[in-house]
Chain A
Amino acid sequence: MNELLNIGLIYSTVRTATPLLLAALGGLYSERAGVINIALEGLMLVGAFTAAVVTHYTHSPWIGLTAAIAAGVLIAAIHAVLCISFKAQQVVSGMAINILLIGVPALLSGAFFESTGATPQIPLHELLQYAPVVIAFALVPVTWYVLYRTPFGLRLRAVGENPEAADAAGVSVTRIRYAGVLLSGALAAIGGAYLSIGQSSLFTRNMTAGRGFIALAALIFGKWRPVQTMLACLLFGLAEALATQMQGVVRVPVQFIQIIPYVLTMIVLAGFIGLSRAPRAIGIPYQKEK
C-alpha cells in the first residue's frame, strides 16, 4: 500500500476535490439563504458544456470560463424564479433542472458538432489546469469572511434561519435569496468548467457523473460551513483519487473500486445527516403577511 501514499496522491486529491468544492461552496450560498439546491449537478453540467463549446470556438479558456459562469447564473435564475418568486417545491425544481441539463448538451452538440454529446478536443495549451484549483481554495476563506464578517453574510444566514425575523428587521428576503441562488449557479458552473477545460479537454455526455450530488453531501457533512465543507470535499476527493490509483494495483474488479466515492457518500449521508443542523428555513418558501 505504501506506494499509494505519495505526492501524486495528494495532487490528485486536490484536483478531484476542486470541482466538488466549487459546487459545494455554491450550494452553501444557496442553502444558507434557505433554498435547497439539488440542481448543483445540472449547474455543473451547463458550466462544463458551455466552457468546452466557447473555448473551442474562441480559443480562449478565460472567455470559455466567463461564458460558463454566465450560463450557470442563467440556469440558476430559473431555479430562483421558480423557488423564490413562484414558491415551487425546491427539490422538484432542482431535479427538473438536472434532467434538463442531461438532455440539452446532447441536443446542442448534435446540432453543432454532429456528435451524440461530446464536444471536439481542445488543445492542451488552451486548458485552465490550475486557475480553478486556486479559485476554489481561495474561495474558502473568502466565503468564511463573507458569511461571518459582512452585512450580506449576516443577512444571508438570517434569511435562511428565520425569514420572518429578517423581514421584520427590514431585510428583503427575496433579494438575498436570489443573490444566494445566483451565486451558487456561478460557482457550480466554474466547477463544471474545470471538469471540461481543466481536468480533461472536452465535454462528454453526463461528465459530472453525480459530482453535484457528492458536493451536496459534502456540504451537509461540512454542516454548511466553509472550512468543514472543504475538508469534506477533500475526503471525497481522496476517496476518488485512491480509487483511481488502486485500479490495476489491487486485485479487485475495477467497478468495485470505482464505487468507493459513492459508497462513501451514502455512508456519510446516512451516518451524519442527523448530526448536522440545517438552516432552519431551508426548503420553505417565504410568504409575507398581507
Chain B
Amino acid sequence: MLELRNITKRFGAVLANDHVNIKVKSGTIHAIVGENGAGKSTAMRIAYGFYTADEGEIIVDGQPRRIETPHDAIALGIGMVHQHFMLIEPMTVTENIVLGAEPGGAVALDLTKAAERIRKLSEEFRLAIDPHATIEHLSVGQQQRVELLKALYREAQLLILDEPTAVLAPQEVEELFAILRRMRAQGKTVVIITHKLDEVLAISDEVTVMRDGRVVGELQTSATNAAELARMMVGRDVLLRIEKPQAKPDSTVLSVEHLTVTARDGTQRLKGVSFQVRAAEIVGIAGVEGNGQTELIEALAGLIPHAQMSGRMEYLGRDIAPLDARSRRELGIAHIPEDRHRRGLLLDFDLKENSVLGVHYRPPVAVSLGSVLLDDGAIRKRTERIIEDFDVRPANPDLPARSLSGGNQQKLIIGREFVLQPKLLLVAQPTRGVDIGAIEFIHRKLVRLRDEGCAVLLVSAELEEVTALADRLLIIHDGEIVGEVDPTIATLEEIGLLMTGGKEQ
C-alpha cells in the first residue's frame, strides 16, 4: 500500500530520518515505535506531505509518487490524525469535515448532504458522532473520532495516527482500538505511531522499530514481545522493573497531621490527612486521579492559600504552614509538579532561564548590589551541568523549552530540583508522557536521591510506578488516606480495591 524508500530528512544539523525504509501492507494495522525523537512522526509527516524528504521516494500502490502537500496525500487516499487535533472548536462536526473540500458551488455551501454522508460513515464504523454537534462540546475521544471521520470522508484508504492514545483514558483506548479493527475489517490500512509497547502488542499486525532516525527492526507482532521491542527502541537492555536496594529510613522529615484543604467552591478536597515521611525513604501515594493528590502536593509546596487549609505540616520539626513557596524552597523542599507545562516550565523561555527558576533571585545566579543582576556565566554553567547530569537532549542551553520532547522537559525540571540538594522532594507524575528510556533514567535518579538521604513523597497515577518505587504506599480515596500497604507484598487487586474506596466493582 505505502512504502517509504531510503527517505532522508534533515532539520538544520539534525538528521531526523536517515535512509528510512518502511513498508506498510494493505489491510494491516502497522505500528511504528520508537522513543521521542526517533523520527517516527517525521517519516509519517513526509508521507502525508507536511514535510518534503531531502532524499528517497514514496511508493503508493506500486507507483512512485510525489507528495508535496497534504492535498497530494489526500488525493492518493492517505489521511492523518495528528497528535494535536486539527479542529476548529466553535464550528460543527460537519463544517470541520468539509473545510477545504466544500460541497456545492462557490456561493452555496451544501451542508445537508455532507451531514448525511458523515452520519452514514459514523454509523458504518460505529463512531457515534452527531454531524451537527459543536466540536468544543465533544470529549477528547469524540474529537479524535471526528478526525477519523475527516479522513474517511475524504475516502482515505490509509490512515496514519500519530500517538493517538496519548490523550485518551484507558477505556477510550479500548474503544479506539475496536474502531481501528473495524476499519481493518473494511479493508482500510492503519499506521499507528506510538511509544507504548503494550499498545503495539495489542493492536498491530506488523511493527517497525525506529531509533535515532533509523529503522532498526521490522517484525511480525505475533513473533515478538515487549522486552525485545524495548531493547530495539533503546539500543540496550531496559529494566522494565526497577531494581532498588532496601530503604534505610532515618529520622522524620515531614509530618502531616489532620491536613484539610477546602476548595474555593467549598468542597473538601482533603479531609484530615495524616502521615509521615522519613529521610531516605520514598512514600508513595496511590489513588484514582482527582482524589486529593494534587491538593496534597500543592498544599505542601505552598501553592494553596493558607486560608483554605487547616491542620499541621511540620518539616524538620518546624511548622511550615504559614510559609510561602519561596521560603519552603529555601528550607530544602523541592517540587516536581504534575503538570510541567502549567507549573514546571516557561515554555518560550530557553533552557538557561528555566534552569534557574526558583533560584533566580539569589546567588550564585543573581549577583551584585543585593542580587539585582543575573550572572549569565553562572547560569550557563548551572544549565550545562543539569543538561549533562540529566541527559537533556538536545544539549543546547539556548533552545526554548518548548522545542524539547516531553521526556527531556521533564529531565530538565528534575535536574533543576535535584541540584538544590533537597531534604524533601515532592514529586507528582514524574514520568507522565515520557518515553521508556527516560522513565528508567528518572526512576533510577529518584532511587539514588533517596539513598542520599532525601525524603521523597511520590504521587503517580501509574499504579505500577508507585508500587515499584515506593518503600511505603499510602492509598488515597476521596481526600482521605484509606490504607497503607507494603508495596512488596500487596497485590494490584488489593490496592485497586482500596483506591475505589473498598467497594467491589
Contact = CB atoms under 8 A, between A and B. Distances in A.
B109 A150 contact: yes
B491 interface: no
A169 B109 contact: no
B82 to A, nearest CB: 7
A170 B99 CA distance: 8
Given A149-B109, A151-B109, A290-B51, A170 B101 contact: yes
Nearest to A163: B88
Contacts of B11: 290
B183 to A, nearest CB: 20
A161 B88 contact: yes
B109 A170 contact: no
Interface in A139-191: 149-155, 157-158, 161-162, 164-166, 168-171
Q: Which 9 A-B pairs have the closest CB atoms?
A: A169-B100, A151-B102, A165-B86, A170-B100, A168-B86, A169-B99, A161-B88, A170-B71, A162-B88
Given A154-B99, A155-B99, A289-B50, A165 B106 contact: no
Given A151-B104, A154-B98, A290-B51, A165 B87 contact: yes
B106 A169 contact: no
Contacts of B102: 151, 154
Contacts of B86: 162, 164-165, 168-169
Chain A interface SS verdict (over half): helix
A205 interface: no
Contacts of A289: 50-51
Interface in B70-85: 70-71, 74, 82, 85
A280 interface: yes
B91 A157 contact: yes
Nearest to B75: A170
B101 A169 contact: yes
Given A165-B88, A170-B69, A170-B70, A158 B99 contact: yes
Interface in B135-151: 150
Contacts of B104: 151
Given A166-B100, A168-B82, A170-B101, A150 B107 contact: yes
Contact of A150 (B71, B91, B95, B106): B106
Contacts of B100: 155, 166, 169-171
Contacts of B235: none
Given A152-B106, A171-B100, 8 more contacts: A150-B107, A154-B95, A154-B98, A158-B91, A158-B95, A161-B91, A165-B85, A165-B96
Residue among A152, A164, A169, A277 with the highest chain B CB neighbour number at 10 A: A169
Chain B interface SS verdict (over half): loop
Interface string B59-71: 0000000000111
A149 B109 CA distance: 5
B369 interface: no
Nearest to B85: A165
A169 B146 CA distance: 13
A272 B108 CA distance: 34
Q: How large is the interface on A (under 10, 10 to 19, 20 to 34, 35 or more residues)?
A: 20 to 34
A169 B11 CA distance: 24
Contacts of A155: 99-100
A5 to B, nearest CB: 39
B388 interface: no
A166 B89 CA distance: 12
Given A164-B86, A169-B99, A280-B89, A154 B71 contact: no
Contacts of B106: 150-152
Contacts of B69: 170
B187 interface: no
Contacts of B88: 157-158, 161-162, 165-166
15 contacts: A149-B108, A149-B109, A150-B109, A154-B95, A154-B99, A158-B88, A158-B95, A161-B90, A162-B86, A165-B88, A165-B96, A166-B88, A169-B86, A170-B70, A171-B100
Contacts of A164: 86
Nearest to A155: B99
Interface in A247-290: 277, 280, 289-290
A242 B70 CA distance: 56
A166 B109 contact: no
Interface string B23-36: 00000000000000
A157 to B, nearest CB: 7
Nearest to B71: A170
Contacts of B150: 169
Interface in B105-131: 106-109
B114 to A, nearest CB: 11
Contacts of B90: 161, 277
A86 B263 CA distance: 47
Residue among A152, A154, A166, A277 with the highest chain B CB neighbour number at 10 A: A154
Contacts of A280: 89
A154 B109 contact: yes
A111 B86 CA distance: 54
Contacts of A154: 91, 95, 98-99, 102, 109
Interface string A104-119: 0000000000000000
B407 to A, nearest CB: 22
Contact of B87 (A151, A152, A162, A290): A162
Given A151-B106, A169-B100, A170-B101, A162 B50 contact: no
